[in-house]
Amino acid sequence: MSDNPTIAFLVASEGIEEAELTGPWQAVKEAGWEPRLLAPETGKVQAYNHLDKADTFEVDQAVSDAQASSYDALVLPGGVANGDQLRMHSDAVGFVREFMDSGKPVAAICHAIWSLVEADCVKGKRLTSWPSLQTDVRNAGGEWVDEEVVVDGNLVTSRKPDDIPAFNRELTRLVAG
């Protein structure tokens, strides 16, 4: 881990659950670390408060130009549309797989777990997500549990926006070592 960790936040172009992006982002900044927003394309991404449009955010780097070795941790914010879109981008899925294989911290909340399923990274892992994804997790070989936050090795998972304080606590604990 570097002295000043750089944390990748990977999202799709729209449908990001705003609280699940901004809550962890703020926790990373408060820890004195550098958050960077990655997406399939540069430009702006559209966040939502559930089904209502919220703020837009400027992308720092296209995921196709990113390497896991340049980052100390990966955060995958949720949002139904975000998780569904992101798992359809091969560069994003490859980046998630590379991160999981590296052993560096990976934190995923809500529907972001779909990216882990698509990257074939949940087999043998204990994790949580939004409840509607439990069958997907089990079919991919993971053990789904209904808990506020679950840590399994380098992986931190949570279910929903209400879990963000616990999610942030475990994310920052893992990154700090």
128 near 149, Cβ under 8 Å?
yes
Residues counted in the chain: 177
| Set 27, 96, 100, 110: catalytic member | 110
140 φψ region: left (φ > 0), alpha (ψ -120 to 50), beta (else):
alpha
Please indicate whether residue 121 is annotated as part of the active site: no
| Angstrom distance (rounded) from CA 66 to CA 64 | 6
* Residue positions annotated with a catalytic role: 110
